[in-house]
Copies of this chain bind each other. A is one copy, B any other.
Amino acid sequence: MDTTADLTALTIGVLGGTGPQGRGLALRWAQAGLRVVIGSRSAERATEAAAEINAAAGSTSVAGGDNTACAAESDVVLVAVPWDGHADLLTGLKAELAGKVVVDCVNPLGFDKQGAFALPVAEGSAAQQAEALLPDSRVTAAFHHVSAVLLADLSIATLDTDVLVLGDDRDATDLVRALADAIPGMRGIFGGRLRNAHQVEALTANLISVNRRYKAHAGLRVTDV
């Protein structure tokens, strides 16, 4: 898979694709003409979500299956599951994800009466946990800060946000940047090595504070790039 790969030749899997973040990205990729497989614990719910996404996007390129089928059928796989199921899911998909580009967008956060905060992760970050559990995959981290509300709202034609893409494999991060660039208004920016993923994941807690204070769906733009 080289950096000039035509995205339309690829199948993008979305593990946890019935959740708001995965579903929203799948919708936008379907609109962009990309082929997507929604994964869920329940193949039936994945198939339902795929049908709903196709109806909303006016596409026919979205299919659904259980998470194992999704991982097996895809070339690039977004991990968009809740943090508390992250390790178990990836452990069970090690074989299906071998050799593939994995994009982790999971934010390990806790919530209390003072709002959101970053949870400690033994491996350093969700992305580094994925890397540890999937030694045969090419693990990247991206799409942490994209608002699921804005993704789902198709009256918003362009998303005013950049996506920090982290990873140690240049071809893999270039591919993931292209996946961000495929969504109008969104821009993929290389944001460092995977060892610097924790703060990108944790910054979601700050954006939640911004959203509460300003009644916004905040995103980030990188200036001077």
A-to-B contact residues, CB < 8 Å: 114-118, 147, 150, 160-161, 164, 166, 189-193, 195-196, 198-203, 205-210, 213-214, 216-225
For this chain, the copies found in one complex come to: 2
Interchain nearest-CB distance for A114 vs B (Å): 6
Chain B residue at smallest Cβ distance from A216: B224
A201 — which chain B residues lie within 8 A by C-beta?
199
A218 — which chain B residues lie within 8 A by C-beta?
222-225
**With A203-B200, A213-B190 known to touch, is A195 a contact of B225 (CB < 8 Å)?**
no
User: Contact: A219 with B213, CB < 8 Å?
Assistant: no
A202 — which chain B residues lie within 8 A by C-beta?
196, 198-199, 202
User: Contact: A217 with B213, CB < 8 Å?
Assistant: no
A-B contact pairs, 16 of them (CB 8 A): A114-B195, A118-B198, A147-B224, A160-B224, A161-B223, A190-B210, A191-B206, A196-B202, A200-B203, A202-B202, A207-B222, A214-B225, A216-B224, A217-B224, A219-B224, A221-B223
Chain B residue at smallest Cβ distance from A208: B192
A205 — which chain B residues lie within 8 A by C-beta?
192, 196, 199
Complex CA–CA separation, A161 to B199 (angstroms): 19
Most B CB within 10 A of own CB, among A147, A195, A206, A213: A206
User: Contact: B220 with A192, CB < 8 Å?
Assistant: no
User: Contact: A198 with B199, CB < 8 Å?
Assistant: yes
A216 — which chain B residues lie within 8 A by C-beta?
224-225
Chain B residue at smallest Cβ distance from A193: B114
Chain B residue at smallest Cβ distance from A161: B223
